[in-house]
Amino acid sequence: MNTDHGTGPDLHVALIGYGRGGAVFHAPLIDATPGLRLAAVVTADPGRGAAVRARYPHTEVITSVDELWRRVGEFEIVVVATPNRTHAPLARAGLEAGLAVVVDKPFTVTAAEARALRDEAERRGQVLTVFHNRRWDSDFLTLWSLVEGGELGRVHRFESRFERWRPRAGDTWRDSGSVDDGAGLLYDLGSHLIDQAVNLFGPVRTVYAELESLRGGADDDTFVALTHTSGVRSHLWASALAAQNGPRFRVLGDRAAYTVYGLDGQEERLGAGERPGGADWGVEPESAWGRLGVAGDTKAVPSLRGDYPAFYAGVRNAVGEGEPVPVEVHEVVHGLDVIEAALRSARTGQVVELPRD
């Protein structure tokens, strides 16, 4: 159970949803964060409820959202980890109930919904943030450090990939749903790819996208090209049909390039049921380190430690101590603008220019 973090009693968290997102990411990270208590999980599925009771015997299972709202005074934070189309209404209900709200990515299906929630949270003076855990990937933190330190010189091209080999589509809303459901890789892995690109190189000016549905249903082979206002070009790929993967990152500057393969290991460890936060948590083996330099003259760059637990530590500090949220909603709104522009581009085959704020 949580230990005292020196700032008072634990904040009670209610997690809505115990699918993969709730079970693999949110529940273990919340439970391992000092100062947070995973007080309740909301799920109507008997099997998922049993899984919660087995792994978190101190956590109550609540079988309906309506019951959660009737008992709202027992909690300080609600986490929304449900199907994408339900994110906006559940987040709004949480704000109206007076709770701090954490929403899994994608924050909402439309940018208009995102702006409305941002404005509502600001009006009420309540904490609202989005679970973009990939900002704490080992490879991304390492790349951030290299860019900030000038090791690459002036970056002109950023290539980023999340590629998998899943030739058969699953029988889920993610694979077979519509754009209105927020289904497909653009909303799923694309949310991470876009968020990382925007964090590294700033706002986006133009968007071009190719969205394919090779297995039927939602997009499963996705390419998005961004031109940032800084002049950097980002090329982003997400695929469920990549029989061989390209580099996770290939970043080109006028002084050097950085290339790294493979995925941060935190997701795999969480999926295996490991409790986050151990002495070697987020540490990547030397075989997974990327390389920096020019052709014929490169060196391995030790990967910085990945740190998914930092997100919920940030939530705790924002709610309990008034510190900034770990992910600012205005950054996420811009990412949804990019997703909507990508959808328009894929329909028309045209480059879409984003309006200036």
How many Å apart are CA 246 and CA 78, to the nearest integer?
38
Find the Cα–Cα–Cα–Cα dihedral 177, 26, 312, 338, rounded to 10°: -10
pLDDT at 357: 63
What are 16-55's pLDDT values in tens digits? 999 999 999 999 999 999 999 999 999 999 999 999 999 9
* pLDDT tens per residue, range 338-349: 999 999 999 999
Copy the structure tokens of residue 175. Answer: 């694979």
Could you report the per-residue pLDDT of 77-124, keeping only the tens digit for each?
A: 999 999 999 999 999 999 999 999 999 999 999 999 999 999 999 999
Percentage of the chain modeled with pLDDT above 70: 97
pLDDT greater than 50 at residue 1: no
- Name which residue leads in pLDDT, 317 or 180: 317
> What values do phi and psi take at 236, rounded to 5?
-125, 130
Spatial neighbors of 240 by CB under 8 A, at least 6 apart, are 164, 165, 166, 167, 169, 185, 215, 220, 221
The residue ranges of every structural domain in the chain are 11-131, 137-306+337-353
Strand order in the sheet with 233-239: 297-301, 290-294, 257-260, 249-253, 155-163, 233-239, 221-228, 204-212, 352-353
Q: Please tell me the predicted confidence (pLDDT) of residue 4.
A: 43
Gap between the Cα atoms of 229 and 204, Å rounded: 6
**Tens-digit pLDDT profile for residues 124-133:** 999 999 999 9
**Residue-wise pLDDT tens digits, 58-78:** 999 999 999 999 999 999 999
Are both 11-131 and 137-306+337-353 of the same fold?
A: no
Is the pLDDT at 7 greater than 70? The verdict is no
Write down the CATH number for the domain with range 11-131.
3.40.50.720
Query: What integer pLDDT is reported at residue 217 of this predicted model?
Result: 87
State how far the Cα of 53 lies from the Cα of 56, in Å rounded to an integer. Answer: 5
Could you report the per-residue pLDDT of 272-306, keeping only the tens digit for each?
Answer: 999 998 999 999 999 999 999 999 999 999 999 99
What pLDDT is recorded for position 294? 98
| 184 Cβ neighbours under 8 A, 6+ residues apart | 174, 177, 211, 213, 217, 218, 219, 220, 222
Q: Residue written as tokens 């480059």?
A: 351
Domain over 137-306+337-353 is classified CATH 3.30.360.10 = yes
* pLDDT interval class at 149 (50, 70, 90): very high
pTM of the model: 0.94
